[in-house]
Structure 1
């Protein structure tokens, strides 16, 4: 990165310019550029779509790769440094999975002829907020976590308050009340990404506290804390999740207008097969999803449920896993799910996983300790 800037000292380069010149992903290039700026080894211009150029220290930086010691920067900077100095914790390789902060693997999908994580990073560079919508369990949160290692998350619901976003007074160990900043303020002051999950379950009056940070002002006023004004730093970015089928989820015009890009997220059933989930169960899910599309049904298993099926099958067996698949469906859809399971999986009848009769002590002991054969060992022919 530094060498590229040094070779073009008269130019101001965007993330896209540098990504094309270096042949690396926008996400990796973006984080490397921000690392150089934080170290004073390059200059940044602009706050919307940032541009970068060489300064007096860039030539020295181009000579030797330097890894910042832990704690040098904010959590966002540390995440960015890890991305640019370690072998691809979340650098996108064609078809390759990305390891999320919690250790789980995310398998990128195509979006606008790009890997989805790459597309989200480009939108972040251009400060274009994104709303991801689709049924629960399709991977919306996983995608955002894979794209942004510096992510902060607000889990929205009907009880979410302005204090949950901005902060509120709490009592410390000495009994004094101190103001504890919320995730919105933290993301703004540290230039981090913020996911408002299930945003459409949050009261519109609460969400209104977020809007000044997303528009041209890029600031909010913390009325509860002396009317303090918080200004967003470069890198602050908001993405939201919306589950249209969830009771109480309402996408208001005010909220929708704040997100210039809205992306539908559904289950990738081909990925489910690649993850070695029982092909019959994937076929059941496809069949039910088609009925949902036709308006004949309200629920179909998504990737989350298919992964849970796989784990349940490994522990309790196929029959119990199929019964549980029926049991997790909404009551009004269970008969249709049971019919699909019976038809496609080839079982005569299936009902929700249910406790049976009480076991006797002897039966329970036998279940815990399977019998060992007492037949005499074969000693060969008698003489």
Structure 2
């Protein structure tokens, strides 16, 4: 087993480049990550084959490790003329099907923005695939799940008690991403207090540095490849996109559900048609809620387990109370029979 630091010293490359190369190997199944603090890696049965296929370089010459900002493994190729880009495998093993963004596959577009150092904010309702896209684009991703209780210590680090009863300072995800040149996702960034987010801003501007006041005032400088991307759910209670936060994300991309994708995933066609109808009503202000891709995927799983009738009842039941009657009416009309929220019946 080797840490990123150990490998970087042996190879004579930056820790960021080596860390990204290791994550690429993990994504390909050609290495295994076995530790987090610090990141540790070891070989798999596929590692030897990968080594044989990789050109060796004599000491003192440049190796094929990724250079600055070229941090995301190219797991998708640009689509051939008239063709479609290939699916991308996410860290959890699920496949992501790229969508169009500025005449490019969205995964490729995000990687180009990272190489250029342009921060991106993705916004849209929960369940539309924002996190899935980011995970597909950046296999070296570190994620911070934001909420109203997120503290500066959660981002930068804090003292924790060790096994001997003493205290040691454990770096947070922001410092780890900066030191290792990795991508950092602020999921639900607009739920985090602006005072907490202010600790991040020096790392995103020209300074690319932060000061860890709690750890002897240590200064952390971002390695090549460090990148911040954020997600924002405008309709979630408490989500506030401040001017200070918005100004640091030069590109802001709206993400909605791809109902064509839902159809291609063999999700019940009536459920997809209902979702489109509800989404149209949501856009016109008639409704405040519509099922997104996440809910449609769940619909099909429920239908496969409990049957289609139960899945439609559950679709009505997950609608917010203020919209439930309208949703029930639309679902009833679409399926041709009364549909109410899923509920327990009489005793068997």
Q: Which residue of 2 aligns with 1:221?
A: 211
- C-alpha RMSD of matched pairs (Å): 2.4
1:321 to 297, 302, 311: 311
Contact 1:90 1:100 in 2 (8 A): no
User: How much has 1:97 moved relative to structure 2?
Assistant: 1.3
1:104 to 94, 99, 121: 94
Q: 1:72, 1:267 → 2: CA distance?
A: 34
User: How much has 1:74 moved relative to structure 2?
Assistant: 4.8
CA deviations over 1:80-128 (Å, ceiling 9, x no partner)? 3567997988324533211101101111000000000000000000000
Give the TM-score of the pair, scaled to structure 2: 0.80
| SS of residue in 2 equivalent to 1:309 | helix
1:79 to 16, 23, 26: 23
Show the 5 A alignment for 1:2-151: 74-81=18-25, 90-92=75-77, 94-151=84-141
Q: Which residue of 2 aligns with 1:255?
A: 245
**Which consecutive residues of structure 2, in runs of 5 or more, have no partner in the other structure?**
1-9, 31-49, 54-72
Q: Which residue of 2 aligns with 1:153?
A: 143
2:344 to 340, 355, 365: 355
Q: 1:323, 1:315 → 2: CA distance?
A: 14
Q: Which residue of 2 aligns with 1:31?
A: none
User: How much has 1:40 moved relative to structure 2?
Assistant: 6.1
Contact 2:16 2:225 in 1 (8 A): no
Show the 5 A alignment for 1:322-341: 322-341=312-331
Contact 2:27 2:91 in 1 (8 A): no
Q: 1:96, 1:39 → 2: CA distance?
A: 33
Give the TM-score of the pair, scaled to structure 1: 0.73
Q: 2:143, 2:306 → 1: CA distance?
A: 34
Contact 1:90 1:98 in 2 (8 A): yes
Q: 1:344, 1:351 → 2: CA distance?
A: 13
* Alignment: residue pair count: 295
CA deviations over 1:214-266 (Å, ceiling 9, x no partner)? 00000000001100000000000000000000000000000000000000000
| SS of residue in 1 equivalent to 2:234 | coil
Q: 1:308, 1:157 → 2: CA distance?
A: 24
User: How much has 1:346 moved relative to structure 2?
Assistant: 1.9
User: How much has 1:73 moved relative to structure 2?
Assistant: 7.2
User: How much has 1:325 moved relative to structure 2?
Assistant: 0.4
| SS of residue in 2 equivalent to 1:168 | strand
Q: Which protein has the larger Cα radius of gyration, Structure 1 or Structure 2? A: 1
Instruction: Tell me: higher relative CO, structure 1 or 2? Use CA pairs within 8 A at least 6 residues apart.
Output: 2
